[in-house]
Structure 1
Amino acid sequence: MVYYARNQRGALGFLFGILVAKSVAVYFIGAFQFGALFFVEICLMIYTLLLFFMKFTIKIDNEMLTYQVFLFSWRVYIKVLTPDQVSYIQFRRVGWASKGAVVHVKNGLNVRFYNFKAENILKDIIHFANAHQIAISKSKDYLILEK
């Protein structure tokens, strides 16, 4: 099964709007200077804009997890995890009322599963872990949300 997620676009849009409004206000006041702070602000605006267009996919098969990060439609990062590469899976609470999971990898970066649209993703991850005898841990906050 393939699942899709995006960054929190509302927060990124708000941050980008504040950065642009601040730059425009400084320009119209007349205190505009080309300095190091100006280039940091431009880099931060570009970074925020790029984060706005990122999306994530996870494909859960019987024998592997495939995690991909896309910028626009270009694949930027891909990680294929087999069951022997996964040390354990931790389920935790994300935000106020959302659930998420982190797949802890033996060698490399851990993979997080937050903000995915479907609720079935966590059930599929549990099924994948049980099928391959991968250890599962659930935080106290996650157990509260499970009730």
Structure 2
Amino acid sequence: MTYTGKGSKDILHVIIIMSVFILPNLSYTIRISILLALLVITLHKVQLTITPDLLEYKIKFFKFIIYRKLLTLDKIKKLKFGRIGWSTKNAVVKVRRGINFSVAHFNSEQLIAELEEFALANNIEIQKTKDYLLLEKYYSHN
């Protein structure tokens, strides 16, 4: 199944602050470069596709793929489940020789559950923080 997430909109606050205070003092080419970089950071989309023996992680800007990572079972070290904020569950895919990635920006409880099923089905190590275990305990009774 494929899940799609969007980039953080918190960066828009940084753009506003930079455009008012910092950017007027810089040269024109540097200002344009910074604004284009921030635009890409803000408008990118992230996709995660889960198949029985593979995870595919993509970062896209409109239809263009900026970054793509295919993770076979031997490349995944473990899945670490944790908490962000008060009640948001998160999972981090820890990778052998590569960059780990988080699924916090997908905002999907179903994705977290499917990643756990994926790890159990493929004998991948699962690590759960104490905070995550509290969330599981709390939400399982409701």
TM-score, normalised on structure 1? Answer: 0.83
2:133 is the alignment partner of 1:134: no
Partner of 1:51: 41
Identity, % of aligned positions: 29
The code of the aligned residue for 2:7 comes to N
Aligned to 2:104: 114
Residue ranges of structure 2 left out of the alignment (5+ in a row): none
Contact 1:57 1:69 in 2 (8 A): yes
Show structure 1 runs of 5+ residues with no match. 27-31
2: CA distance between counterparts of 1:19 and 1:42?
12
Instruction: Show CA shifts across 1:99-135 (max 9, x none).
Output: 1111111121112211213210011001000001111
Q: Distance in 2 between matches of 1:126 and 1:114?
A: 15
Letter in 1 for 2:75: Q
Question: What's the TM-score, normalizing by structure 2?
Answer: 0.85
Corresponding pairs, count: 137
| Partner Cα distance (1:65, 1:102) in 2 | 13
CA RMSD of aligned residues (A): 2.1
Aligned match of 1:29: none
Point out the structure with max Rg over C-alpha.
1
Distance of 2:21 and 2:86 partners within structure 1: 30
